[in-house]
Amino acid sequence: MERCYPVIVTIGDGVSSTASALIVTVRATRVGFGVDSDGDGFSDIAELATGSDPADPNSHVLGKPLDDSSVGALVLSKTQIKLNFAKANNDSVKIDGLLALPSGFNASNVTLLIDVGGIAKKLTLNARGQAKLGNDSFQLRPVKRGLAAPAAAKFSLSFSKGAFAGMLDASSGLSNADLAPVQRNVAISLAFGTGVQQKTQVLSYSAKKGKSGVASE
Ligand SMILES: [Ca+2]
């Protein structure tokens, strides 16, 4: 996402001065955590994690840079993030929600980019709206073949046995520390087809240093 702002810069040494007009380009990251070098809306971290080129604005699941008209709200019903600080590769994310679908939606071979607080995954759906890759899974239901596609479908996603704690600490403050329930905001995005649906979910986070942390509604 790129916006341009005109700026007038005046430089003086106390005797004389000169003014010059500059255009400053601000690139806001819309999906994922960290900088977005090519201005397509997807963070470099999300692009590298999902196999697209962070220097090419047309290289990612949408195939074109994001604009405001292709960003919509995501409806979530349940979010749970569990971090295990005692055992490596044992973090998990589970999210249930409702995904808006374009008219005529056919799940077969639809590639989905999911970003949860900087944890980015790419999954490809089968005709039944399901995807499974390693320890990650996604399911849309119901997506009935041969019937008019619904305007929205419930979804469930699960990432398990992951190393997510470092990223979720950096992006969302899910820290390895002793914390009584504290409020934390986790940005969640699902991108497919021509757009992105996203929500910054407010979660309650509790943790015991060196042991575990749990964030949920
Ligand atoms: Ca990018």
pLDDT tens per residue, range 9-21 = 888 888 888 988 8
Residue 122 lies in a domain: yes
Closest by CA to 74, choosing from 152, 136, 164, is: 152
Residue 188 lies in a domain: yes
Comparing 61-65, 91-95, 108-112, 164-168, the range with the smallest average pLDDT is 61-65
Q: Taking all residues of the chain, what is their mean pLDDT, rounded to a whole number?
A: 92
| Number of domains the chain contains | 1
* 8-state DSSP, 148: P
Q: Is the pLDDT of residue 149 over 70?
A: no
Residue 52 lies in a domain: no
Residue 2 lies in a domain: no
CA–centroid distance, residue 160 to ligand 1 (Å):
26
**Does 5 or 208 have the greater pLDDT score?**
208
Q: Is the pLDDT of residue 77 over 90?
A: yes
Residue 5 lies in a domain: no
Torsion of CA 137, 142, 148, 150, to 10 degrees: -80
CA–centroid distance, residue 217 to ligand 1 (Å):
30
Taking ligand 1, which is a single-atom ion, which protein residues have CB atoms under 5 Å away? 36, 38, 40, 42
Residue-range definition of the domain harbouring residue 184: 59-216
Q: What percent of the chain has pLDDT over 90?
A: 73
pTM for the full model? 0.87
CA–centroid distance, residue 3 to ligand 1 (Å):
15
Residue 31 lies in a domain: no
